[in-house]
Structure 1
Amino acid sequence: MPAKRNPNGAGTITKRKDGRYQAAVYVLQPDGTTARKFAYGHTWAECDEKRQELIAKNRKGIPTPTRSAKLSEWLPYWLDNIVKPRRKLSTYDKYEAQVRLHLAPGLGTKRLEALSVQDVRRFLVRLERQTTAATAKEAHRVLRTALTAACREELITRNVVSLVEAPRPDAREITPWSLDETLTFLEAARGESLYAAFVLAITMGLRRGEIVGLKWDQVDLERRTLRVAKQTQRRRGVLYDDDPKGRRRRTIPLPAMCVAPLRWQRMRQADARRRALADKTGAGWQESGYVFTTRTGRPVEPRNLYRAFTRVAEDADLRVIRLHDARHGCATLLTAAGVPPRVVMEILGHSQISITMDVYTHVVQDTQREAISHMDRMLKRKR
């Protein structure tokens, strides 16, 4: 009777001349190919247990390299099979750029198991000299995330990047508009087609993509609420809807001063719809449901929102700030008004309370400075 053979993919176990047992299994490699992997044991049962572990990982699609993979092999696999299916397109693009421009050229020849703390530190110091501390810090974050995934897949036993301190870029000083400057801007923007968008940015701290991606079914003017559920981004030449930053959907009470501009925006849009439908030579109207649209109903380009914001500021002789700085100004005004940091965090959709506390600390310091000035006046001796 012929000997029973294991099914394909189950591997084999043989006894070596030195008395140990050897298992051989074809396993998946990080580059998508297969190769023969050997495992050893002092007993047949010990060797069989290792064989079954290799088979189980192979069935789950987890690569088991026959040799330690190079970073130039692991990083593309990580991007395509771990980052792309689970993370936002904008995140994938940022990670891919770091891998292509910095990590692969600087550390690609290093093998995962052989990568040392010294290798990572030297790379970051060199990168900071060639570019900026902010770029080096982002490279540190991306590499740490990639090696954390390698640890989960048991390709390495420790993440050496976690042992290296990230570079510390100088914090960019943010100087949002004062209350007077904000009021001047709103007065100058009153006749603009995107006036309601500017009001939302200033009073509610909405991000640019959240404003452009806002739809009418997320706005309830009767109950005065607004739901932030999507943001519109342009990536690779295409406009697309995505989850808000940090995937933090939120419903926010609508300030009273936002209601009239939004009603005006709805009437203006209805008029544009009638004009577009009546124009037989034009492109017609494309119903999209967005609050802010072009004259044909298409969503507004995120970059055009910032361009309009900058143009109004320049025409009003105001110093030009980023549209995102208006969001920071909203946080400052809310905090100065005594709104608790946790509430400010929920309104703005911050992912961490520490981000809100940075603003809160700034406002508290200003308040302390004012209190000390009162003390100076009280204790100042009359001459």
Structure 2
Amino acid sequence: MGDPIKKITLKDGTTRYRFVVDIGHDANGKRKQLTVTKDTKTEAKNERARILHQRANGTLVPPSKMTVDELLNDWLKSATRDVEEGTAANYEDAVRPVRVHLGHKPLQEITEDDVESLIDWMLTSGRVRGGKAGTGLGLRSVQLTLGRLRSALHLAVRRQLVTRNVAEHVTIPRQARQEAKAKRAKRVPWTEQEVKVFLAECQGHRLHAAMLLLLLGLRPAEVCGMRWSEDVDLTAGTIQVETTRTMVRGKVVEKDPKSERGKRTLPLPAVVLGALRAAKAAQAKEKLAAGQGYTDSGRVVVDELGEAAKTDWLRRRVYKLMEAAGVRKVRPYDARHACLTWMATSGVPDVIVSAWAGHSDLSFTKRVYVHPDAEDLRAGADHMQKVLG
């Protein structure tokens, strides 16, 4: 067998050493070969030995022209094979900043510095929508993007497209985490007094029942998905949470709750039951007044012509009612936090609070949704006074 390393002379008279080595087969079974050229025969020998060793133990990563954008296409195809449309849309949204900042780069050339640059750019000027363009994205968005990029690079490692995951040990700067923590601390759910002021403004409003359902801890998408015939039992005084109605890629998507625990039957306080009865009667009057122009969608929350409500439609009207009531503006979703906090601080057992929320993880409910305030802590002081006094 002849020497696999050949001496070659270039047009300019320069001497080089070249070898060709088999590195496997493509998807069609065709043999793939790698051609390597080095300045010296020793370099060529060492490189050939390295390649053969890696080929033998399955760690060889052949050169590839694949870009980061192309990797993300492959990863999305794999990651969204068996997920809901909304989840797939979230994945695509999460990797969009990567496409903008790194998508054009060859996959095998990106470094940890590139990933850190991506994080810094997102935190300072990566926003495209959902706010003022060119400003920084929130910590949660950056965390999701970094997590999806790590997952895509894990796929690249498994498929032997890169030798290591350069995003594996990249972290978000401490200052950004501290700033996000401070913002979360400022997001305080309504107090009981604020709720009373708000509900006084809502009394008699056609969306009074919807406001009460939000304050019962239902998600806006759950409120918009509620149906009279399937989900509301005015005789038994209960509601079933069975369907959510939300927006995905600009269109309405109706689906089951996030988990099996999300499907739940809740008993209604008398005030909510009364408001639902009033809402149903009001819808009947609106249907009669509108005649053929009315759409009988069968939903609990509808517009004046019976069309089922979207979450953004409901959110805008909630904010108008807040403004009219003169109360502090909070997100409609924060009503869920307020409800679960009241329950937890009023002595309702943790397992009941979690079941009411539709969660399977008790610790998650308490960690994320329960926010005791100074008055709640006063109960602890009063108890300790009895113990220590």
Normalised TM-score (structure 1): 0.71
Matched-pair contact (CA < 8 Å) for 1:176–1:321: yes
Shift of 1:374: 8.2
Q: Distance in 2 between matches of 1:364 and 1:317?
A: 22
- 1:308 alignment partner, one of 311, 317, 339: 317
- 1:170 alignment partner, one of 180, 189, 193: 180
Q: Distance in 2 between matches of 1:16 and 1:192?
A: 92
Tell me what 1:78 maps to: 75
Q: Distance in 1 between matches of 2:235 and 2:152?
A: 48
Q: Distance in 2 between matches of 1:263 and 1:242?
A: 26
Tell me what 2:223 maps to: 211
SS in 1 for 2:366: helix
Shift of 1:364: 8.0
Counterpart code for 2:309: V
Tell me what 1:140 maps to: 146
- 1:179 alignment partner, one of 187, 192, 217: 192
Matched-pair contact (CA < 8 Å) for 2:214–2:336: yes
Counterpart code for 1:72: D
Number of aligned positions between the proteins? 331
Q: Distance in 1 between matches of 2:261 and 2:383?
A: 42
SS in 2 for 1:323: coil
- 2:341 alignment partner, one of 332, 343, 350: 332
Tell me what 2:289 maps to: 275
Structure 1, residues 119-146: CA drift from partner, whole Å, max 9, x if none? 3234323432332452432321221233
Matched-pair contact (CA < 8 Å) for 1:331–1:348: yes
Matched-pair contact (CA < 8 Å) for 1:227–1:249: no
Matches within 5 A, 1:120-135: 120-130=115-125, 131-132=136-137, 134=139, 135=141
Q: 1:252 to 1:337 in 2, by over 3 A?
A: farther
SS in 2 for 1:170: helix
Matches within 5 A, 1:54-133: 67=64, 69-79=66-76, 81-100=77-96, 102-130=97-125, 131-132=136-137
Shift of 1:207: 1.2
Q: 1:288 to 1:137 in 2, by over 3 A?
A: same
Query: What fraction of aligned residue pairs are identical, expressed as a percent?
Result: 29
Tell me what 1:254 maps to: 267
Shift of 1:154: 5.9
Q: Distance in 1 between matches of 2:33 and 2:245?
A: 51
Matched-pair contact (CA < 8 Å) for 1:226–1:252: yes
SS in 2 for 1:233: strand
Superposition CA RMSD, Å: 3.8
Matched-pair contact (CA < 8 Å) for 1:248–1:349: yes
Shift of 1:76: 2.2
Counterpart code for 1:226: I
Q: 1:366 to 1:154 in 2, by over 3 A?
A: farther
SS in 1 for 2:253: strand
Counterpart code for 1:269: Q
Matched-pair contact (CA < 8 Å) for 1:287–1:297: yes
Q: 1:95 to 1:247 in 2, by over 3 A?
A: farther
Structure 1, residues 302-358: CA drift from partner, whole Å, max 9, x if none? 222122222222222222221111111111111111223343223223475454223
Shift of 1:260: 1.6
Q: Distance in 2 between matches of 1:254 and 1:212?
A: 19
Tell me what 2:203 maps to: 190
Counterpart code for 1:262: L
Tell me what 1:38 maps to: 32
Tell me what 1:57 maps to: none
Q: Distance in 2 between matches of 1:340 and 1:93?
A: 37
Q: 1:274 to 1:323 in 2, by over 3 A?
A: same
Q: Distance in 1 between matches of 2:29 and 2:374?
A: 62
Q: 1:137 to 1:359 in 2, by over 3 A?
A: closer
Give the unaligned 5+ runs of structure 2.
5-19, 35-54, 126-135
Counterpart code for 1:197: A
* More displaced stretch, 319-328 vs 192-201: 319-328
Give the unaligned 5+ runs of structure 1.
1-14, 28-33, 41-49, 54-63
Matched-pair contact (CA < 8 Å) for 1:332–1:359: no
Tell me what 1:323 maps to: 332
Q: Distance in 1 between matches of 2:63 and 2:243?
A: 44
SS in 2 for 1:298: coil
Q: Distance in 2 between matches of 1:288 and 1:149?
A: 45
Q: Distance in 2 between matches of 1:16 and 1:184?
A: 92
Q: Distance in 2 between matches of 1:359 and 1:23?
A: 51
Matched-pair contact (CA < 8 Å) for 2:337–2:369: no
Q: 1:275 to 1:66 in 2, by over 3 A?
A: farther
* More displaced stretch, 118-127 vs 328-337: 118-127
Matched-pair contact (CA < 8 Å) for 2:25–2:32: yes
